[in-house]
Chains A and B, each alone.
Chain A
């Protein structure tokens, strides 16, 4: 049984101007121990889907699904309990995820105190070990620092350590490297891969960046206008995409065409968002 199993997910958010159907029909199945990429452009519903798993959608939002289960439990009832225990979140901007006026230790300890009834010295030792295990040199100095004293890559590692401190075995990483330089991004992705191998983590990696998917993901699901279009091993979807939209998106990458030649553009709607019927391109 997959760790995360979503079938026929639809999310409707009430707004003063009427209901908005942000997600229409998403299927997503994540196996234990894999890094599963969710790729989509603005408005595809990728972040809303992640937010729904965390139970953090605005009040009054309607979440309907045939299956919306994490490890056999329906997320519609148990998201609040799973969040911060088994499901952790890594967000795009680590500087915004941390409190600027508190030292890293206070922010790590907030998590540790909640989850372990251990004396301070033990919690300190655990924080040190945790930061060391995710590749931060001199973890004691990091713990005594304020967020502004650390680089973006170090901050993202701290946020990952915080998520691990809860004991989470499933991480939702929403654009975890978008705010980072390429060289640092590669290190953070490598770290995620290591954690999957050594700690048996499962990662749902939400991104708009095909390069990130190609670097670390085992499998990938493509979202478009609130619908999942296709899924499969990352290599297969990126090399032999079946859906015309995925093909168009890959052809629009700046290194897909030789220098000086025009890039293929993604024009018009590919599917009818209401029905999911294909509007252009060959039948997948």
Chain B
């Protein structure tokens, strides 16, 4: 891929303030650099305390940055302030881990999806309703779901509504923070398929943050592995999965069912 990156992060350092007289804390993100090209999906993998969520929050401008730069489509993203920041943020859609926390229990699905559209200046009416039906359809939900409330949805359906809402303003970048961690395996497969479809149809760029390397390895073009604030691995998904450079990455990949190659070979369960 060539051209201007969708997102370019250079030497980003994020540090939380400790007490006034306390020694300077270790940075939560210690010099992260990466590019995200248009239409590309980058998976960011790390355990608790790895800095993956801090990095995401900085990109959403919810957290101040100590040093380094972030560019969105070639523009200095950290220089945008106030009203124009609110405007510019519409280019990013966000999906969080638990749809039942991110969807208001008081609103109907129609109201949830109308909110961002009306905030961006669309007036209520037939056009708005048609837009909502299209969004629901794109995310695999029938139009009659518009009258339901969050509690009348299953986990997978609710996450589809959250994705539809994130797509309402036609963002170029979708930021997904553990979007399948709260879902059953069967529902997780449906959501991963939906994201793959949306990526293909809309040419979306995605940042997919998770602690589960296997989930993100299925969908990401490139992977970034973080540990204790450092980027320990960055590269094409195939390369990292085939030949992880770090013991840590190898450990994440060696866990579980499909790593049990000796089973497939019919050698029986590992001696215990």
Digit string of A185-219 for contact with B (CB within 8 Å is 1, else 0)? Answer: 11000000100010000000000111111110010
Chain B residue numbers with a CB within 8 Å of A213 are: 257
| Interchain Cβ contacts within 8 Å, total number | 102
| Interface stretch of the complex, out of A78-86, A93-101, A134-142, A262-270 | A262-270
Measured between beta carbons, the chain B residues less than 8 angstroms from A263 are: 189, 192-193, 218
Contact A264 B189, CB 8 Å, known A211-B255, A257-B218:
yes
Q: Which of A235-271 contact B (CB under 8 A)?
A: 235, 238-239, 248-250, 252-257, 259-260, 262-266
Check A152 for interface membership: any CB of B closer than 8 A.
yes
Whether A252 touches B272, Cβ cut-off 8 Å, given contacts A238-B257, A262-B196, is no
B272 touches A182 (CB 8 A): no
A239 to chain B, nearest CB (A): 6
Chain A contacts for B48, CB-based, 8 A: 152, 181
Considering the complex, give the chain B residue whose CB is closest to the CB of A216: B272
Contact yes or no, B186 A239, CB < 8 A: no
**CB-CB nearest in chain A for B47:** A181
In this complex, what residue of B is CB-closest to A213?
A: B257
Given contacts A181-B211, A257-B218, is CB(A265)–CB(B196) below 8 Å? no
- 15 chain-A/chain-B pairs, Cβ below 8 angstroms: A41-B186, A183-B252, A184-B47, A185-B255, A208-B184, A213-B257, A215-B256, A252-B186, A252-B188, A253-B189, A253-B214, A255-B214, A259-B237, A263-B218, A266-B189
- On whether the beta carbons of A235 and B269 are closer than 8 Å, the reply is yes
In this complex, how many residues of chain A approach chain B with their Cβ under 8 Å: the count is 41
Known: A182-B251, A183-B47. A235 touches B263 (CB 8 A): yes
Contacts of B255 in A (CB 8 A): 182, 185-186, 211, 215
Contact partner of B256 among A152, A210, A233, CB < 8 A? A210
> 1/0 per position for B180-213, CB-CB distance to A under 8 A?
0000111011101100100000000000000111
